[in-house]
């Protein structure tokens, strides 16, 4: 009996994969770098080489197929289309390429949508019919669930919350426009905010010691240690994020907004200021009604589980 | 056989009502003013007095029930909750009050949602599974349809596009916040934009002659006559509206956006500049894919048809 599904999460930096059983347990998982492959063909070959021993070990006849979460991936066409966070541009027929490489059926979804399905099936959104999942990673992704269904949109490309304009004529974005939410509320966005803060202030702060190597994780650790600059940077980030999320509530009126991804690991440091700005900016009919929650799934699990859930 | 449904559309200014047959034809319709009633009880009495002869004429045994579209109305609870565009504040149990007054079952929906259902059943959105209906009236309303279903949200209050913040710290809104889309893209918003234009310029223009009595309809007629100030005002209005609609596409990726309401009657005058700003602000994956269309239903018909469609 085939009782395992392969889940593959293609992120801007890393690609995580795992075999998941019917109970939603990840029985084996690993990852490779997404970055550092000049062509898609190189990447597919590297991924196949990493997967082959895992699939052989589990027994290929036990595996039903693969579900893939990837940036700008289209559930309807199986393609990745002009993903701002990947080095490969244009249209990548990722479902077709992986089917050829792995010799099994492949279903593709937006990485944020895949995480949303994982959260809805196993996590903090279990049983919810209306919620928004926000992924704060290298970029900002999202999955909107309404009436118990993921919103795919006419062409399968709904849920690009990261490219809602947060600041008119604001920071340049990888998408070619200016002021997108993900230039402020992603891991890269918060580092930029920290750099600007350091330029505008002379204060002593833990952040200054990192120099050009400063990461979102460093800001998180400095915030945990009570560093005032790090707290100010989280405050600014949460303000932008909370304002935009308040606007999103006016569209879909969700029961909860769930935060996932590297920057979301900062927990209260990011959710606290976001909640403050969120409530301040909500239309009164929505105030104190929408819960802001951290993901209930560990690390990369949501994305792998969500991707694998596409298979069943 | 009961073969008529009563549709009632409660707008900020007028209340339209009509009896609709199973083929979607409005067999009789009329209206009263919504404004000018100090209490809800006065309004309900006036509405009952206007409806009674219509219901008697058609034969009460022929009427299945009433569907009501109203601002901030909740499909789940049958209440109007703190509607910014009505003089009566707080929670109004409109379904209960009308059921008592009319002696028939009453179903309530957001007026914009009702118009959306009308458009989906009989109008420009016939057969579409993913679209946005935008009502440009005294305020700005909306209905979001995804996967063929209207998005109600967790509490039935989804689709408040008019209260998405278009300009941070912008014009004061009736909701108590600042910069809401409806302070720019509604009939009242465009009049405000025209007043500001007139203050900032000394040019001769048809708009100046109206003085304090200037209405959106006057700006529409001046625009039709090629008045440069009116065209500039539509340009500014369309820019704000197009920017926000581009953001909305990133959320639900619709096949089309359909414009309804008094200001939408200006047709190309408003849709032209909106489309220009819309395409300029869209994320590239959505460009040239989303149709901006005028409603295919005449005047108040969409709202009455939509409200009545709740009955069947």
Stretch A227-244: mean pLDDT: 98
pLDDT of residue B299: 66
Confidence of residue A58 (pLDDT cuts 50, 70, 90): very high
Angle between helices B228-252 and B187-200 (to 10 degrees): 130
CB contact B144 to A (< 8 Å): yes
CB contact B253 to A (< 8 Å): yes
Contact B311, B107 (CB under 8 A): yes
Put simply, the answer to whether B160 touches A283 (Cβ < 8 Å) is yes
Secondary element (H or E) of residue A145: strand A140-146
Does the pLDDT of residue A131 top 90, yes or no? Answer: yes
Chain B residues within an 8 Å CB radius of A175: 283-284
Put simply, the answer to whether A283 touches B147 (Cβ < 8 Å) is no
Put simply, the answer to whether B152 touches A253 (Cβ < 8 Å) is yes
Put simply, the answer to whether A250 touches B163 (Cβ < 8 Å) is yes
Chain B residues within an 8 Å CB radius of A252: 144, 151, 153, 158, 251
A258-281 pLDDT, tens digit per residue, is 999 899 999 999 999 999 999 999
Report the 10 Å Cβ neighbour count for A90.
10
Confidence of residue A12 (pLDDT cuts 50, 70, 90): confident
CB contact A152 to B (< 8 Å): yes
B236-249 pLDDT, tens digit per residue, is 999 999 999 999 99
| Predicted-complex ipTM score | 0.85
CB contact A291 to B (< 8 Å): no
Stretch B72-88: mean pLDDT: 87
Put simply, the answer to whether B146 touches A158 (Cβ < 8 Å) is yes
Give the nearest partner residue to A286 out of B152, B157, B248, using CB atoms.
Answer: B157
Chain B residues within an 8 Å CB radius of A250: 159-161, 163-164
B279-292 pLDDT, tens digit per residue, is 999 999 899 999 99
Q: Which two structure tokens, joined as six digits, stand for B306?
A: 């939509």
Put simply, the answer to whether A251 touches B251 (Cβ < 8 Å) is yes
Residue with the larger pLDDT of the pair A172 and A81: A172
Q: How does B84-108 read in b/e, with b if 16+ C-beta sit within 10 Å?
A: bbbebeeebebbebbbebbeeebbb
A81-92 pLDDT, tens digit per residue, is 888 778 888 999
Residue A10's Cβ-count burial label (10 Å; 0-12, 13-18, 19+) is buried
pLDDT of residue B1: 66
CB contact B113 to A (< 8 Å): no
Q: Please give the share of chain A, as a percent, with pLDDT higher than 90.
A: 79
B10-62 pLDDT, tens digit per residue, is 988 999 999 999 878 999 999 999 999 989 999 999 999 999 999 999 999 99
Does the pLDDT of residue A1 top 80, yes or no? Answer: no
Average pLDDT score, chain A: 93
pLDDT of residue A115: 85
Give the nearest partner residue to B247 out of A164, A253, A285, using CB atoms.
Answer: A164
B57-69 pLDDT, tens digit per residue, is 999 999 999 999 9
Among the listed ranges A114-118, B124-128, B170-174, which one has the minimum average pLDDT value? A114-118
A90-120 pLDDT, tens digit per residue, is 999 999 999 999 999 999 998 788 889 888 8
pTM: 0.86
Chain A residues within an 8 Å CB radius of B157: 253, 285-286
How many CB pairs lie under 8 A apart between chains A and B?
A: 144
Q: Helix or strand or coil: residue A259?
A: strand
Q: In chain B, positions 58-77, which contact chain A (CB-CB < 8 Å)?
A: 72
A277-301 pLDDT, tens digit per residue, is 999 999 998 999 999 999 988 766 8
Confidence of residue B222 (pLDDT cuts 50, 70, 90): very high
Put simply, the answer to whether B147 touches A147 (Cβ < 8 Å) is yes
State the DSSP string of A184-206: HHSHHHHHHHHHHHHHH-----G
Chain B residues within an 8 Å CB radius of A163: 250, 283
Put simply, the answer to whether B175 touches A283 (Cβ < 8 Å) is yes
pLDDT of residue A24: 83
Query: How many angstroms separate the CA atoms of B187 and B184, rounded?
Result: 8
Chain B residues within an 8 Å CB radius of A153: 130, 146, 252-254
CA distance B1 to chain A (A): 34
Distances (CA, A) of A125 to A17, A116, A117, B156, B162: 22, 8, 9, 19, 28
Put simply, the answer to whether A130 touches B154 (Cβ < 8 Å) is yes
- Interface residue of A85, A158, A184, A258 to substitute, partner B, most B CBs within 10 Å: A158
* Chain B residue with the nearest C-alpha to that of A165: B247
Stretch A13-40: mean pLDDT: 92
């Amino acid at each position: 009996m085939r009782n395992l599904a392969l889940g593959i999460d293609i992120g801007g930096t890393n690609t995580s994969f795992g075999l998941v059983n019917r109970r939603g347990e990840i029985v084996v998982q690993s990852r490779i770098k997404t970055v550092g492959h000049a062509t898609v063909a190189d990447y597919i070959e590297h991924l196949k080489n990493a997967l082959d021993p895992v699939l052989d070990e589990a027994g290929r006849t036990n595996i039903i197929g693969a579900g893939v979460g990837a940036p700008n991936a289209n559930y309807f066409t199986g393609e990745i289309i002009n993903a701002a966070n990947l080095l490969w541009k244009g249209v990548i027929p990722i479902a077709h390429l992986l089917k050829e490489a792995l010799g099994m059926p492949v279903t593709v979804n937006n990485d944020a949508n895949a995480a949303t399905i994982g959260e809805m099936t196993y996590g903090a959104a279990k049983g919810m019919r209306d919620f928004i999942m926000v992924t704060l990673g290298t970029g900002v992704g999202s999955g909107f669930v309404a009436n118990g269904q993921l919103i795919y949109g006419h062409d399968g490309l709904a849920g690009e919350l990261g490219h809602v304009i947060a600041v008119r004529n604001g920071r340049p974005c990888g998408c070619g426009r200016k002021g997108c939410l993900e230039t402020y509320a992603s891991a890269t966005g918060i580092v930029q905010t920290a750099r600007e803060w350091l330029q505008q202030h002379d204060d002593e702060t833990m952040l200054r010691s990192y120099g050009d190597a400063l990461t979102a994780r460093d800001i998180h650790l400095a915030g945990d240690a009570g560093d005032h600059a790090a707290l100010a940077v989280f405050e600014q980030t949460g303000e932008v994020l909370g304002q935009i999320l308040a606007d999103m509530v006016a569209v879909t009126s969700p029961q909860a907004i769930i935060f996932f991804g590297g920057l979301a690991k900062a927990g209260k440091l990011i959710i606290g200021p976001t909640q403050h700005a969120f409530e301040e900016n909500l239309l009164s009919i929505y105030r104190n009604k929408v819960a802001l929650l951290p993901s209930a799934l560990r690390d990369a699990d949501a994305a792998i589980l969500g991707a694998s859930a596409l298979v069943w």
